[in-house]
A and B are shown apart, each in its own frame.
Chain A
Amino acid sequence: MTLIDLANPSKFLSLTARVLPWLAAATAIVLAIGLYQSAAAPDDYQQGATVKIMFIHVPNAWLSMLVWGVMSLAALGTLVWRHPLADVAAKAAAPIGAAFTFLALVTGALWGRPMWGTYWEWDARLTSVLILFLMYLGLIALWRAVEDPSRAARAGAVLTLVGAINLPIIKFSVDWWNTLHQPASVMRLGGPTLDRAFLVPLLVMAAAFSLLFVTLLLAAMRNEILRRRLRSLQMMQARAFSSEVDTGSHEGNAPKPKFGAA
């Protein structure tokens, strides 16, 4: 199966049916390994056991940006190549990205209280991630507000691309401004500064959450394709219903409608 074949929603559905069980199993296994390594990781000399929050906070924070990145690529697919699954992917990814961003914010606050002495600080990193969360909610609201799917797809794609400006701001906010949030300690030019005892569980948890994202995305895309199929069939049903009523009224003997309301 080539990449072009995946543009066909039916072929995509058949692929997800085969791949999803394997992805779910891989996610569960890697997550179990990650959780075991997180539990077994030693206490940090400064943070103590609170370092364990980092093993869930950091993967959620990375994914909050990665998901918007994926949605931005999908937005290009919608606007430039008019790929039939691009909008499906973006729409399916948004609630998952919003959930990851929410978790990054809340776990960050729960780490910040014992370490910084505050749940929240209006510094550049925290504020830009909060803006990302609000953009996710805005995008979900937009898709729900516009009834015509093609208009909603274009409007959503434009908003997604505009929102992508926030990604480099989040990433470099700790370098550009003086923030309470610490600078990057894993994805940096000179290599990770984290000790191996913390780096390994962190990377395994990041892999587990990435697998979780792919699994949930494929499942949500399958749902979105089925939702669109349902919508078009309901419209077909409504057309059949109205043409039957029209025929009946022309003949002056309106029959009982064969199809129920959608």
Chain B
Amino acid sequence: MTAWLQTLGASTLASLATLGRSVQFLVRVAGGLDELARRPSLLVQQMHAVGVLTLVIIMVSGVFVGMVLALQGYYTLVDFGAEQSLGVLVALSLTRELGPVVTALLFAGRAGSSLTAEIGLMKATEQLAGMEMMAVDPERRVIAPRLLAALLSLPLLAAIFTLLGILGAYLVGTAMLGIDGGSFWSQMQAQVSFADDILNGMIKSVLFGLVAGWIAVFNGYDCMPTSHGVSRATTRTVVMTSLVVLGLDFVLTALMFD
């Protein structure tokens, strides 16, 4: 019994310490963002790795999510004779929830894991320690551009995902299901509000970008410098990002929409 209590206490303390380290780490990195004003090329390179290379999976997923939403929504709405509202259903689901959330989940799998692995391997091969020896601050040089790139890329990716999803739904709705294209758009425009729906979705995806980037770079920076440690850190990045994004999404939805 005491042994069990001790294990519980130790693991609680360990996770609290990790949380504290990660917050300190975030504050330090945020303080190092001014380096990027002098070296924008660092940011551009990371935007390429994190944003551009994630684009394909985001675009393909967006189109398919939109098409499936259109099919499933149609089967339900047609029972009520409300199939003309398909555009509203798809647009609201995508702008409010699915766009930011699914993009963040895919982002964690595609970009977050590679960030963690890259930084973890830099640590394991002592590149980060080498930088410090040369009086180069790895937090400014390596971490800050990656974090900012994640923060900037995710909203852009989410916007592209949402738009392609709606276009996919339009395609399925008009070509396969025979919905009138005009009422698809006009009902959508009447019901979707820029300030309430699209802007709130964007705010969500900025926060998800911060969380996904933060978890990814911290896990890489904090991992055990062994091959086992890097692999665990990569897994932890994906799992933690997914859980945190889903939990945060619930809180944000509860705060944003009434």
A and B associate: no
Give me the interface of B with A, judged by CB distance under 8 Å: none
